[in-house]
A and B are shown apart, each in its own frame.
Chain A
């Protein structure tokens, strides 16, 4: 391994690792990738799961390993942490924009209307509280009739 590799460089390389369920957004933009530590030869990647039962964590671990192997970093120490608890506030602005462009309405604060990703109307209604995955709900636009996924707000109710 090249000893001059910095944590910031590795974090940059990991931009290539996308969320398996929303393949346009990186795990960094989604808030899954928390930090990278470099200590001599040992690279530690700290990640947190989105939902407790998220089945994508195994795929994400494998994707991180593959992305680092492409940079001649082998045997990374990938640690899955239970804290901090992931919330949708950890999704970056660029992540939200890409999500919207991909056709998924990004999270909104509780009680706020969800805008249609196609026509931007806020005249929408929920069809189902769960969509294709645990993190999404199914909506319908009442103006353009588009059915769409909404990435639900995931944060503690205070």
Chain B
């Protein structure tokens, strides 16, 4: 197995979960009501667990002697490989749930495919993460329905969230030569297949929610090459502060 391609791929998976989790955890104490506050932070916890598992896989194939904490807390923004979607500010609740729904469907389809990976440690992690992601997906799927079918104001906010986020979604399925090579070896799935499954599921649900897809917009790209929006730098400044200020600090 070619570690040269595995390492950046595991970072892609881990960084996507890590940034999702960090943005969700910002809701702690700010949720619209107590139960939802608890739910958002529990999803954040699961998702951080997935980041931890993917970082472990990266550590196992890394050239240098790195730890999971080094990867999460000591890399700069240009070393992060998440798509731009997951680093966007959390926005309002409509924005958060729309983004969550997009990423839940993506993770559901991707992890399900990764359970078939010929790289056994990755298949094991995918099986574990998939169970949790299925539950997250049920939740965000239902929230979209509830918000879109409630008041006119809620529907408008959901439409606005869709307009703002839609053109960030194609980047979820971007690949590079390394990911293509992993696909040819049977380690990673064909992302174009995942993308078409995703589009079909998401577009059906959005139509049922009476939301209209925006026609044009700036299509996000760059995360896979480490080219990020300014938001990631601010997020990492907060997330990494403690380890940077007090190296090796533990609870």
Contact = CB atoms under 8 A, between A and B. Distances in A.
Contacts of B128: 52, 82-83, 85-86
B31 to A, nearest CB: 11
A127 B49 contact: no
Interface string B23-54: 00000000000011011001101111110110
Contact of B35 (A51, A83, A138): A138
Contact of B48 (A53, A138, A152): A53
Given A52-B46, A52-B53, A85 B127 contact: yes
Interface stretch (B87-95, B130-138, B166-174, B190-198): B130-138
A130 B125 contact: no
A86 B53 CA distance: 14
B39 A155 contact: no
B125 A82 contact: yes
Give the interface size class of chain B: 20 to 34
Given A83-B124, A83-B127, A131-B38, A157 B134 contact: yes
A128 B39 contact: yes
Chain B interface helix/strand/loop/mixed: helix
A61 to B, nearest CB: 14
Nearest to A54: B49
Contacts of B11: none
Interface in A86-137: 86-87, 127-134
A156 B134 CA distance: 8
B131 A87 contact: yes
A53 B127 CA distance: 14
Contacts of A131: 38
B35 A128 contact: yes
Contacts of A85: 124, 127-128, 130-131
B129 interface: yes
Give the interface size class of chain A: 20 to 34
Interface string A48-90: 0101111100000000000000000000000000110111000
Contacts of B124: 82-83, 85
Interface in B47-91: 47-50, 52-53, 56
Contacts of B56: 82
A79 B187 CA distance: 25
Given A130-B35, A130-B39, A130-B42, A53 B131 contact: no
B121 interface: yes
A87 B131 CA distance: 9
B117 to A, nearest CB: 13
Interface in B111-129: 121, 124-125, 127-129
Contact of B53 (A55, A82, A152, A156): A82
A132 B53 CA distance: 24
B139 interface: yes
A53 B46 contact: yes
A18 interface: no
Contacts of A129: 39, 135, 139
A11 B135 CA distance: 33
A155 B131 contact: yes
A131 B48 CA distance: 18
11 contacts: A51-B45, A51-B46, A53-B48, A53-B52, A82-B56, A82-B121, A85-B128, A128-B38, A133-B42, A134-B45, A154-B131
The 5 closest A-B pairs by CB, nearest first: A53-B49, A52-B49, A128-B35, A83-B124, A53-B45
Given A83-B128, A129-B135, A156-B127, 17 more contacts: A51-B45, A51-B46, A52-B49, A52-B128, A53-B49, A54-B49, A82-B53, A82-B56, A82-B125, A83-B124, A85-B127, A85-B130, A86-B128, A87-B131, A134-B46, A154-B131, A156-B134
